[in-house]
Amino acid sequence: MNLLEWLPFIVLIPLISSGIVACLPGRFWPWAFTLLAALASAVIAALVLPEAMGSELSYPFGNWQPPIGIEYRVDAANAFVALLVAGMAALALPWAKASVDQEIPERQGAFYALFLMALAGLLGITLSGDAFNIFVFLEISSLATYAIIAHGRDRRALLAAFRYLIMGTVGATFLLIGIAFLYMMTGTLNLADMAERLPEVSDTRAVRAGLAFIIVGLGLKLALLPLHLWLPNAYTYAPHFVTVFLAGTATKVALYVMLRFIFTVFSPDYSFVVLPLSSVLMVLAVAGMFAGSWVAMFQDNIKRMLAYSSVAQVGYMVLGVSLVSAIGLTAAFLHLFNHALMKTALFMAVGCLAYRAGSLKIQSLQGCGREMPWTMTAFALAGLSIIGVPTTAGFISKWYLILAAVEAQSWWLVGLIVITSMMAVYYIWRVIEAAWMTERPEGATRLKEAPLSLLIPTWVLVALNFYFGIDTRLTVGASSAAAEALLGVPTGGLP
Amino acid sequence: MMTFLSFFNYWVVIALMMIGFYCVIARGNMVKKIMGLNLFQTSVFILFISAGKVVGGSTPILRDGVEVYSNPLPHVLILTAIVVGVAITALGLALAVRIQEAYGSIEDDHLGDEDDDAELARMNREGR
């Protein structure tokens, strides 16, 4: 059995396991089985990545050859994203045990089953080479995500989930409208086939409208600035484990699909020349960077602050795309990966804090740095990464983003990237200051350090932030291969 | 006039889509929002299915004497999309029920503003 035949199991393992996990009783077995399934998927994804570098793998389902049948088509770009999603799930699950036991004491089987379904959906979106299949997987992952967000203990989690459901469904339906237009014009749903047939009909209003619908629909899922309204509440009130997982994966997958449509299905010559997509994305990205960072500076709740920071980080990724160059796209993929690392580490540290302290308001955390030193040190180190201090992963992606801006001769963008990084310094510093520089108020309950089962995974993520800040062979290599795969031209080995 | 009639399906799609979208945005009541969402999705289903119609075509069943038949693929796709739509409606209604239990109202306008983190802290303590 060669590797290609294992390819669909990246999606099938979590999907099938979710049915099994739903039936498992107690608190241990659902979690253990979920961890196994996520690990298995991550291992296969890790094996597929080197194979997919430079060549395209195609797995036709039921041996129906594309374009008639549905295929999974994997190149460097989606193998990289699939490894990120499956890997983040496998890294987050060891952390999940203690946190989920506290937050969702009952019916954990159902919770983990939904989690696996969300994971399977995200992986399916990433690997599929069929437009309608992407829509169905998008809805599978979204439905499961709405349900797990609603598991949050605060009753506002229900409202957040409901509003996300409304906005997410509108976004997915926009994607469906876009796919309908493309199907009408080309008569195919296979992405590669569509790319071949589109040039003949590209100068029609239906195709232009189709692209616009797809971009707006995915922009909603991606939380690009004016469409980000669902994100802060969903991240804030979801169970901590769900926030940890979503922050690293959900928006990244939406960005990948958007890139797939912009670059592979439509050629960049079309999407960036016929439509003013480059300037639209650049304006929205810069606005997102500023508005997200600005609002984050004034949030009381740490989780909400980090959620707004995510809106800003999505801005950085889209900014890399809007520069339409190999190096810009590499920067976007790098930031996609590195942001997953740093936000997961930060949300894990916040989850450790929430495990002991009831409130996540910054005022109520005064002096907790002395009582929970390991947690707060992890937070501070991951914070360095999001600021972009050298030797952290965050520095690498910002460095490439600045290189891309310099290459495009947009010096003002370099200035904007530096300014928004300064804003990140401010919002991370507010937490550090409250935790370390102020005394614990009189009469406040003493906090214990978080248990090791939470701390060890958190520190693993923090260590990864530094590892990928120093050894960039894997990330930069995979990112430039991904950019190459999307642009269809060799980037000639980036520095 | 003829062109208007020949695009009748598409006019219906646009009308339904706008009515549904307006409901989703303008209505505060969550059940009405879900109804709007349903209308919005249904309009897209009609759009898809209209694309499969072949003028003069019969149903796509293999039998003697039939050469022209409608494209069955959009119907199959929409069957899946309908299932997705039903799942979303079910989940949305389930959430609305839970919100009714938690807040005593499903009018979206004022919910959630009065909560603060003190409540979260209280719930955390109770849960422990």
| pLDDT band at residue A490 under the 50/70/90 scheme | low
Compare CB distances from A301 to B74, B102, B117 and report the shortest one's residue. Answer: B117
Of A87-101, A244-258, B108-122, give the lowest mean pLDDT range.
Answer: B108-122
User: Over 60: is that where the pLDDT of A461 sits?
Assistant: yes
Amino acid at B128: R
Task: Test A139 with B92 for CB contact under 8 angstroms.
Answer: no
**Alpha carbon distance A145, A72 (integer Å):** 23
Q: Which residues contact B69 (CB under 8 A, 6 or more apart)?
A: B54, B57, B58, B59, B60, B61
Residue A57 domain-assigned (yes or no)? no
User: Over 50: is that where the pLDDT of A443 sits?
Assistant: yes
Compare CB distances from A359 to B40, B81, B121 and report the shortest one's residue. Answer: B121
Q: Does A254 touch chain B (CB under 8 A)?
A: no
Give Rg (Cα) of chain A: 21
Q: Is the dihedral of CA A141, A284, A346, B123 positive or negative?
A: negative
Interface test with B, best of A146, A166, A175, A361 (most B CBs within 10 A): A166
Angle CA(A476)–CA(A479)–CA(A484) in degrees, nearest 5?
A: 125
Residues of B in contact with A150 (CB under 8 A): 95, 98
Phi, psi of A58 (to 5 degrees): -135, 130
Q: Tell me the shortest Cα–Cα distance from A62 to chain B, in angstroms.
A: 18
- Estimate to the nearest angstrom the gap between the alpha carbon of A474 and the chain centroid: 18
Q: Tell me the shortest Cα–Cα distance from B72 to chain A, in angstroms.
A: 12
Q: How many domains does chain A have?
A: 1
Complex-level ipTM = 0.89
pLDDT digit string (tens) for chain B, length 128 residues:
667 777 888 899 999 999 999 999 998 899 999 999 999 999 999 998 888 887 777 888 888 877 888 888 888 899 999 999 999 999 999 999 999 998 888 887 767 655 655 555 555 555 44
- Whole-angstrom CA distances from A453 to A93, A351, A390, B94 are 11, 12, 29, 34
Residue A47 domain-assigned (yes or no)? no
Per-residue pLDDT tens digits for A312-349: 999 999 999 998 888 999 999 999 999 999 999 999 99
**Alpha carbon distance A66, A68 (integer Å):** 5
Per-residue pLDDT tens digits for A168-204: 999 999 999 999 999 999 988 899 889 888 888 888 8
- What are the tokens at A348? 């894990």
Compare CB distances from A136 to B33, B84, B95 and report the shortest one's residue. Answer: B84
CATH class of B11-53+71-106: mainly alpha
Ramachandran bin of A187, using left for φ above 0, alpha for ψ from -120 to 50, beta for the remaining angles: left
Angle CA(A8)–CA(B44)–CA(A193) in degrees, nearest 5?
A: 45
Residue A298 domain-assigned (yes or no)? yes
- Whole-angstrom CA distances from A79 to A6, A122, A483, A486, B103 are 13, 13, 12, 12, 44
Domain that holds residue A474: 285-495
User: Over 90: is that where the pLDDT of A273 sits?
Assistant: no
Of A227, A231, A474, A235, nearest to A337 (Cα)? Answer: A474
